[in-house]
Structure 1
Amino acid sequence: MRDAQPEPGTLFYDPATDKVGEYQDRTGPYAMLRPVGGGREWQADPAALRPATAEERLSAGVRAANRRARTDAPFMVGIGTPRPPVPEPDCTECDELASRRESARATHDYSAETDANVLLRGHQRREHRE
């Protein structure tokens, strides 16, 4: 990065972290970069930064899109996917399976989250038929 102050949002490659980041501003002797698509800023040595290549920009954009897809998934329920089952009131097994689902969701273990939903639906069909 040259002495001229780049525009905020310009993408740079930081060899110290092996990441591409959006330039935010300078703080003292450091350039502040943020992951593409948002996230926690980090300090970088401006002398070591270089403009990101087209391939690096594309890769960073794909990572950001994948991250959004994983984190936005709970908000997309009902758009082409079945709604998660709601536990029946005062049912210990329903509560345990719903708790298992929430723990899996919190750790981004989507396979375990799906397993808990399948088990909860099966339990509800067997035990809570109307």
Structure 2
Amino acid sequence: MHDTQHEPGALFYDPATDKVGEYQERSGPYAMLRPVGGGREWQADPAALRPATAEQRLSAGVRAANRRARTDAPFMVGIGTPRPPVPEPDCAECDDLASRRESARAAHDRSAETDANVLLRSHRRERHE
């Protein structure tokens, strides 16, 4: 395929990686693709790319929606889950537990995030209520 056929945002199947990606731009001899819905770009051979089929586009869209559902979970507070506890000002133990929670959230470790919330709630009940 020539560059004139590559439109930014168009979906292509990359047989080298067996993935569908959104065309971003040309970088030297490579086409730059990224996963549907965002993510890390990868280099692909522009001559090997094929327009994604309807089935491939649908599958890539479902994967993106599932990824969003996992990463957007902290923003779904109040939908069947208790609000995360708020640390007390000027309490080193509260700050430590809140920091652990944020690190777990950044690493997408929901189990560790929940553990930190449970410990922070318990600490608040014992020391601040």
Q: Judge same fold: TM > 0.5, yes or no.
A: yes
Q: Report the residue type matching 2:74 in the other structure.
A: P
Provide the C-alpha distance between the structure 1 equivalents of 2:92 and 2:40, rounded to a whole number of angstroms.
Answer: 40
Q: Percent of pairs identical after alignment?
A: 87
Aligned CA distance change for structure 1 residues 123 and 27 (closer, same or farther; 3 Å): closer
| Structure 2 unaligned spans of 5+ | none
Give SS of 2:72's match: helix
Aligned CA distance change for structure 1 residues 97 and 27 (closer, same or farther; 3 Å): closer
Provide the C-alpha distance between the structure 2 equivalents of 1:128 and 1:23, rounded to a whole number of angstroms.
Answer: 54
What aligned pairs does 1:34-113 form with structure 2 within 5 A after superposition? 34-113=34-113
Aligned position for 2:23: 23
| Structure 1 unaligned spans of 5+ | none
TM-score by length of structure 1 reads: 0.80
Pair 1:119-2:119 in alignment: yes
Provide the C-alpha distance between the structure 2 equivalents of 1:101 and 1:115, rounded to a whole number of angstroms.
Answer: 8
The C-alpha deviation readout for 1:14-50, integer Å capped at 9, x for no partner, is: 1222221012333443222221112333221122112
Give SS of 1:26's match: strand
Provide the C-alpha distance between the structure 2 equivalents of 1:124 and 1:27, rounded to a whole number of angstroms.
Answer: 53
- Aligned-residue RMSD, C-alpha: 2.2
Aligned position for 2:9: 9
**How far apart are 1:5 and its partner, in Å?**
0.9
Q: Report the residue type matching 1:85 in the other structure.
A: P
**How far apart are 1:115 and its partner, in Å?**
1.4
The C-alpha deviation readout for 1:71-105, integer Å capped at 9, x for no partner, is: 33333434553321111123333222212211211
Give SS of 1:48's match: coil
Give SS of 2:26's match: strand
